[in-house]
Structure 1
Amino acid sequence: MVESAVLGVFCAELMVCVFTGVPIVAALVAGLALFIGYGLWRGCRLRELACMCARGVASARGVLESFVLIGALTALWRACGTVSEVVVLAAPLVRPAVAPLAIFCMCSLMSFLIGTSFGTAATMGVSIALAALVCAAARRMSAGQIASVCVLGFTPADPTVAELMSGGGVVSMVNVSLVVCLSSSFSGLFDGTGLLDGVRGLVEGLVRRVSPYAAVLAVSVPASMVACNQTLGIMLTSQLCGHAEARARDLAIDIEDAAVVVAPLVPWSIACGAVVSMCGAPAACWCAAFYLWLIPIWRLTTEAAGTRFGFDGGEGAHSAEAAENSSRAHA
């Protein structure tokens, strides 16, 4: 009962912040205090709770490192002219008749160039080194200027150009990094205090009533809304749905088709908010994320068809596998 009340209060805080325009960091700070208070009520010491938070933040270390590299890279690409060159080369391709297709293809190529939606550390580290060399050789920037751009971002001298090209830098990623740190600390607290133990029981009951994927999807939606970032949303879904599938491979596919694509559909999640803020898109653009909506709809539709028409999917596949294992055991 207490656990449900704690989670309910935190969800209410998130909703209030979203609809009133209060920075999401405020709700996360309040949530951290709430979860620590729950841990103290359970008898945990403050030092133990701090260690739980530290373990949660450590699990998102790779994401935080990527944020630092992204901030430096986006600033240096502006400073060395890479972004300007991409705009010059791409502008002739974006004609009204093929604008949606051209934009989609260019975004796909950029994702391929960077490696992931946020970028991997190895790719960023090489794209940063080259950009710094171009800044020094072509733009005649000193080492101090390059370092300043990496940290504070790039601002062109021409005010007209500055409106389009300013930005980047490590400081531009401070807010999203705070969100990741705070929300990741929740993972450690949830695991250490047992706050989600009761929810796991509900999930197990849900798995018995619907297909495993439907259960994983049902869990991933509130998990992504509470987590505020893709990494923690995946972690929470994995913690709660660890026994939904008989094989780890099947669970991984379910989470890929649920938590991974649901997180960018949450407007206040870093997976959506960070990308939207970096490209200056309207906040409601997630409604048009057709591919993200299509995957869960397709999975649910095919599983429903498999259950109705007797295709090899959903619970039928697990039943067949169980029967096969049973026959082998008797043999």
Structure 2
Amino acid sequence: MEVLTIGIFCALLIICIITGKSILYALLAGLIIFGLYGKKQGYSWRQISRMALQGVWKVKNILLTFILIGMLTALWRQAGTIPAIICYTVHLIKPSTFLLMTFLLNCLISVLTGTALGTAATIGVVCATMASALGIPSWMTGGAILSGVYFGDRCSPVSTSALLVAELTETGIYTNIKNMIKSALAPFTITCILYLTVSIQLHGKTEMPDLGHAFGSEFRLSWIALLPAAVILLLSVVQAGVKIAMIASIVTAIPVCIGLQNMAFTELPELLLNGFHSTDVTVAAMLNGGGITSMLKVGAIVCISSSYSGIFQATGILNGFQKMVCLLADRTKPYFAVLVTSILTSVMACNQTLAIMLTDQLCSRTEPDKLRFANNLEDSAVIIAPLVPWSIACAVPLTAAGAPGYSVLFAVFLYLLPLCDLVLKKITALL
């Protein structure tokens, strides 16, 4: 019965992928299917509803954070924060170091904004445009972008995936970030060396385009525009609460929008709700987005996915699968079991959020130490989902950057992170 129920859900996911329909349809259908399973097990609809709500209640804090992130990303665009960061850093890019700097710039913006998709749609688009001008293969650029955007998506204090992992594992996000930085050090260094080595072999055609002119028509580029980013970085360093850091950045960005960028105060509600929209075609292609409405889809995915966890836990539908995962962990190592599980959930879930939640549900018993388990999740489900070509986590960033699907082959950091983890844990075990 359990296998059949899960199988039907997987089939619906596959149908949505093939037909190009929103994955939300499959998730809503899944909620009905798992509800019917609960009913078959003898639970009343009222009890099943309570199970689902308990799952959603578990992630209530992250849903509030999504709202703040939507507001923050809109304000950073309108305040000129993202354009200023791009213009001040783009001069560091040279044809002989292009892939390396593409990776590093996407790392920087994704750490600041906490969103892989938003980073790909901003600095990722800029890097892809430059690559086209320089004659750099688009699949290489796409791989470097994919590596960079998920470096920050994994370990930014305002990352939705990092916040979700912290919430699910009941751990502190800043402690998790410290552990993530440690496990990322070796793969990050190797990735930089590889991208630099390949970049040196490439021959650029021209010098870098002048982005200051493109942004200068829309924004007043000044160091003042960097204040919202500086505030959130400073508060992150002193380990202030994530919500406090974001609210402080939002409060800082509003006067910058009004005073520096001459935005009318009456336009603020529209900006916060629907995000930034430019009438300039060039600027719009790179910066349009943000706002509370931009977070509605991911919020809906988290809500529905989290409702599953409540039903799964109460009905025990995943107990058989959990036993198999625990057996694998006993025969190998907890991280290996989590990694294998995350590959399967990422292939099935088609989005990062559901992959994280399913992996957590299946593997929570493999590692009693919550901090270690949180790091295992971050080094598996969070970075495996972007390697699945039909996953939203992979398709959306590459589409935004205009890169082909096989760019995943050059997303070096995403391969090296779990590989280095496995090697390190093997060495540790031998010692």
User: Does the TM-score normalized on the shorter chain lie above 0.5?
Assistant: yes
CA distance in 2, matches of 1:10, 1:57: 20
What residue in structure 1 maps to residue 296 of structure 2? 174
Correspondence 1:180-219 to 2 at 5 A: 180-219=302-341
C-alpha change, 1:268 and 1:69, in structure 2 (3 Å) is farther
Structure 1, unpaired ranges of 5+: 318-331
What residue in structure 1 maps to residue 267 of structure 2? 145
245, 259, 275: which one aligns with 1:123: 245
Please give the per-residue CA displacement for 1:271-295, whole angstroms capped at 9, x wherever unaligned: 5567667x64647354433222112
CA distance in 2, matches of 1:34, 1:223: 18
What residue in structure 1 maps to residue 18 of structure 2? 19
Are 2:50 and 1:51 equivalent residues in the alignment?
yes
Contact kept in structure 2, 1:183 and 1:228, CA below 8 Å: no
Structure 1 stretch displaced more, 78-87 or 284-293: 284-293
C-alpha change, 1:206 and 1:112, in structure 2 (3 Å) is closer
CA distance in 1, matches of 2:42, 2:394: 37
- 1:201 alignment partner AA: K
Contact kept in structure 2, 1:64 and 1:177, CA below 8 Å: yes
Contact kept in structure 1, 2:75 and 2:257, CA below 8 Å: yes
What residue in structure 1 maps to residue 4 of structure 2? 5
Contact kept in structure 1, 2:13 and 2:350, CA below 8 Å: no
CA distance in 2, matches of 1:88, 1:254: 36
CA distance in 2, matches of 1:232, 1:61: 16
C-alpha change, 1:247 and 1:74, in structure 2 (3 Å) is closer
TM-superposed CA distance for 1:241, in Å, is 2.8
What residue in structure 1 maps to residue 209 of structure 2? none
377, 393, 406: which one aligns with 1:255: 377
Please give the per-residue CA displacement for 1:155-202, whole angstroms capped at 9, x wherever unaligned: 223344333332221112222211111111111111111111111222
What residue in structure 2 maps to residue 156 of structure 1? 278
CA distance in 2, matches of 1:264, 1:47: 37
Contact kept in structure 2, 1:53 and 1:185, CA below 8 Å: yes
408, 420, 423: which one aligns with 1:298: 420
- 1:107 alignment partner AA: N
TM-superposed CA distance for 1:130, in Å, is 1.5
CA distance in 2, matches of 1:288, 1:62: 35
237, 241, 244: which one aligns with 2:359: 237
TM-superposed CA distance for 1:250, in Å, is 4.7
After TM superposition, what 4+ stretches of structure 1 lie above 6 angstroms from structure 2? none
- 2:243 alignment partner AA: A
TM-superposed CA distance for 1:78, in Å, is 1.9
What residue in structure 2 maps to residue 107 of structure 1? 106
- 1:15 alignment partner AA: I
Contact kept in structure 2, 1:151 and 1:171, CA below 8 Å: yes
CA distance in 2, matches of 1:201, 1:25: 29
RMSD of aligned residue pairs (Cα, Å): 2.9
Identity among equivalent positions (%) equals 38
Q: Secondary structure at the match of 1:156?
A: coil
CA distance in 2, matches of 1:128, 1:89: 22
CA distance in 2, matches of 1:162, 1:203: 47
Q: Secondary structure at the match of 1:37?
A: helix
Q: Secondary structure at the match of 1:51?
A: helix
- 1:42 alignment partner AA: Q
CA distance in 2, matches of 1:220, 1:147: 40
- 1:5 alignment partner AA: L
TM-superposed CA distance for 1:59, in Å, is 2.1
C-alpha change, 1:111 and 1:160, in structure 2 (3 Å) is closer
- 2:97 alignment partner AA: V
Q: Secondary structure at the match of 2:89?
A: helix
Structure 2, unpaired ranges of 5+: 114-155, 161-241
CA distance in 1, matches of 2:315, 2:54: 13
What residue in structure 2 maps to residue 325 of structure 1? none
TM-superposed CA distance for 1:244, in Å, is 2.8
What residue in structure 1 maps to residue 96 of structure 2? 97
CA distance in 1, matches of 2:248, 2:414: 30
State the structure with more CA Rg: 1
Please give the per-residue CA displacement for 1:31-68, whole angstroms capped at 9, x wherever unaligned: 11111111111111111111111121222223322322
Contact kept in structure 2, 1:183 and 1:227, CA below 8 Å: no
Correspondence 1:258-277 to 2 at 5 A: 258-267=380-389, 272=394
Structure 1 stretch displaced more, 218-227 or 287-296: 218-227
Q: Secondary structure at the match of 1:263?
A: helix
- 2:278 alignment partner AA: P
